[in-house]
Structure 1
Amino acid sequence: MTRRLADLGGLAALVLALGLAASPGRAAEENDYPTDARVDYVFACMAANGQTRENMQKCACSLDQLAAILPYDKYVQASTILSMRQGVGNRANEFRSTKVFDDKVADLRRAQAEAEVRCYRG
């Protein structure tokens, strides 16, 4: 039993030495996207880029990078704005012509561009 605990202690030290243990705040920030949102993103990405295993891996990478850059609540806000902009009428026009909404969408677009560079071109 003592040897087993010592082995586990050594494993924990190795993980820490390799930098695989993120601080709790950072891990929470990067993993705040719920599973269903992650799956929806990857499915939509694959629909746009092709239904191959390689594209699935790139799309998953892209989402991981996006999640590291943009908190989930900001992703939801920007996605909602983009969805509302597809409508017609005064309500949709409000979402198209408001600077605050433009800024939220721009944050999402920048994060997506960075994720694309890291996962598709890097």
Structure 2
Amino acid sequence: MLKFPLALLLMVAPAMAEQALNDYPTEARAEYVFACMAANGQTQDVLRRCSCSMDAIASILPYDRYVSAETVLRMRQGAGERAAMFRGSPASTAMLADLRRAQAEAEMLCF
């Protein structure tokens, strides 16, 4: 069994916890903020609020679950048999519910 000095563990643990909460790539964060600003205005205040919103969502929903929910959302907007599969699926509905809860909490915190 490996033994690490307590001081080293105390220094590394917060960085590891932050990394786990910050698993969203910069591109995904930027895409969200740009879309948010397009919907809410192109001001410095909105930039700050949209960034806050993305940070809040990232702290609630791991990136892989965010991508899954966004994919379901986009697929549901289509037409045809493929889109219908995403509309009726309980798993798809649960993914969207998680995303919507995270967005609602982010809106309460930031807007």
- Under TM normalisation by the shorter chain, which class is it? 0.7 to 0.9
Task: Tell me which amino acid in the other structure corresponds to 1:93.
Answer: A
Q: Quick one: which of 92, 99, 105 aligns to 1:108?
A: 99
**1:11 matched residue in structure 2:** none
Q: Deviations over 1:56-77 (max 9, x none)?
A: 0000000001000000000000
Could you tell me how far apart the structure 2 residues matched to 1:107 and 1:37 are? Answer: 18
**2:85 matched residue in structure 1:** 94
**2:33 matched residue in structure 1:** 42
**1:60 matched residue in structure 2:** 51
Task: Tell me which amino acid in the other structure corresponds to 2:25.
Answer: P
The two structures have a TM-score, normalised by structure 1, of 0.79
> Which sections of structure 2, spanning at least 5 residues, go unmatched?
1-9
Higher Cα Rg: structure 1 or 2? 1
Could you tell me how far apart the structure 2 residues matched to 1:31 and 1:22 are? Answer: 14
- CA drift of 1:119 comes to 0.7
The two structures have a TM-score, normalised by structure 2, of 0.86
**1:32 matched residue in structure 2:** 23
- Which of structure 1's runs of 4+ aligned residues deviate more than 4 A? none
Could you tell me how far apart the structure 1 residues matched to 2:34 and 2:13 are? Answer: 28
Q: Deviations over 1:45-101 (max 9, x none)?
A: 000111111000000000001000000000000000000001100110000010010
Aligned residues: 101
What's the C-alpha RMSD, in Å, of the aligned pairs?
Answer: 1.5
> Which sections of structure 1, spanning at least 5 residues, go unmatched?
1-15
Could you tell me how far apart the structure 2 residues matched to 1:104 and 1:26 are? Answer: 24
Identity of aligned residues (%): 56
